[in-house]
Amino acid sequence: MSTSSTPTPANSAPVEVSAENKEKGEKLKAEANEHFKNQAYDKAIELYSAAIEIFPNPIYYANRSFAYFKTESIGYALNDASKAIELDRTYTKAYYRRAAAYMSLGKFKLALRDYEAVYKVKPNDVDAKTKYTECNKIVKRLAFEKAISVDSKSVAESINFDTMSIEDDYSGPSLENDKVTLKFMLDLMETYKAQGKLHRKYAYKILMDIKALFMTQDSLVNITVEDKAKFTVCGDIHGQFYDLMNIFKLNGLPSTENPYLFNGDFVDRGSFSVECIFTLFGFKLLYPNHFFMARGNHESAYMNQIYGFEGEVKSKYTDLMAQFFTEVYNWLPLCHCINNKVLVMHGGLFSSDTVTLEDIRTIDRNRQPPDEGLMCELLWSDPQIPNGRAPSKRGVGVHFGPDVTKAFLERNKLEYVIRSHEVKQDGYEVAHDGKCITVFSAPNYCDSVGNKGAFITMTGKDMVPHFTTYEAVEHPDVKPMKYANSIMNFLS
């Protein structure tokens, strides 16, 4: 039987691979590639993994890296790209894959290092030069923005409403005595359904008022639901305005008798994020004690720069408003506790066994999400099937098992947790012996996944979760990611 060697890290002996195994590996790779083309990424990952088991080829690792990337398992994508580079330091595609993962995590300097490595090897390659040049611009821009932000004042302080006149031909909704009313909200939603626009003066006023409101709240907000009252929890919306309208059609508009909690990731990817966020902020101002919003991992500056929200705000309004949104998002609460029984956060639980509700309540949240710690894990963590903890597939946060959930609930005298953050085919998933529930409210995510959306309802007396699922509704022909940064070209 003939054999050949596969590339190995420096100072390692070549790994002998039989011709038969090479043939099996190539067959599995070809099959995986077909599944990848059909967007069956989980099946592609399974087949690439089988190929790697019998033939650890850098190409297989790089391909699996891209499949992981497509499923938003950025941490796994990063590890696979690094493994491909370790096996073959001349394999430029692996550097591209790793750079894409770094950029998705907001680690632009590390991405630049990989683009530079390719550019040095291939200085006449147009693609290599373009990616290196554009990434270098991003790094320099961020460094400049950081340098000038040290002594810069709040955007709120620079807004002058006296200079913002309402044009005679403006026919959209108007605030009444500078306040959000139910009529304003009804007019706003109808305007948005018709693809109209809220005047910038009213938009800035809403942002000003919502920031002041969020600043009065703790990082953990307590919610009381009366015994016979209904309460609704929604997961990720991701700029899918027409699906948000469908939730209100199915479950009723927010009111003092019909309270809601929206659990983060209101924006990005979907191209109606501006419409979503002003609708949600408007209801928060209208019903401050019966409408709640928690921060998600996409309510952050670098995610908004990459996945479309910043570009959408700049297109529909101004760069100044995009900066203002960043200030507002920094004050969003991080989680909510309903009737002292159910804790709701966007991501999940923690790498420490000692976390209490008081620890969460006192988090200093007025900042961009850090790469570690309680705030990071609330926004980024995910549940896993086995007991214990594991490094996150996302490269940020932690995977936590049913034993971790059980111990956290017992320590804090809670019944279960609700989180969002992950696409689920049925719109929701009940895990960890019923103690960890995921709800995701953006159906047919990015117009491509085919999942259902869901929301949870419960009554204050028993707090038993009930699930309503729904399909995506039609929307105007505006594709997801329309406003995404040109960075996204690097990630394909």
Enzyme catalytic residues: 298
CB 439 within 8 A of CB 427: yes
CB 439 within 8 A of CB 344: no
Reading the block at residue 3, the tokens are 């054999």
List the strands of the sheet with 291-293, edge to edge.
291-293, 260-262, 230-234, 453-459, 466-470
Nearest to 67 by CA among 51, 89, 87, 55: 51
CB 396 within 8 A of CB 407: no
- Farthest CA pair distance, the chain: 85
Instruction: Give, for 468, the enclosing helix (H) or strand (E).
Output: strand 466-470
Whole-Å CA distances, 28 to 2, 32, 55, 322, 461: 20, 6, 10, 46, 54
C-alpha span between 317 and 295 (Å, rounded): 23
C-alpha span between 408 and 98 (Å, rounded): 35
The one-letter amino acid at 231: F
C-alpha span between 117 and 119 (Å, rounded): 6
Pairing of strands 260-262, 291-293: parallel
Reading the block at residue 454, the tokens are 């869901």
CB 287 within 8 A of CB 320: no
C-alpha span between 49 and 426 (Å, rounded): 26
C-alpha span between 69 and 44 (Å, rounded): 12
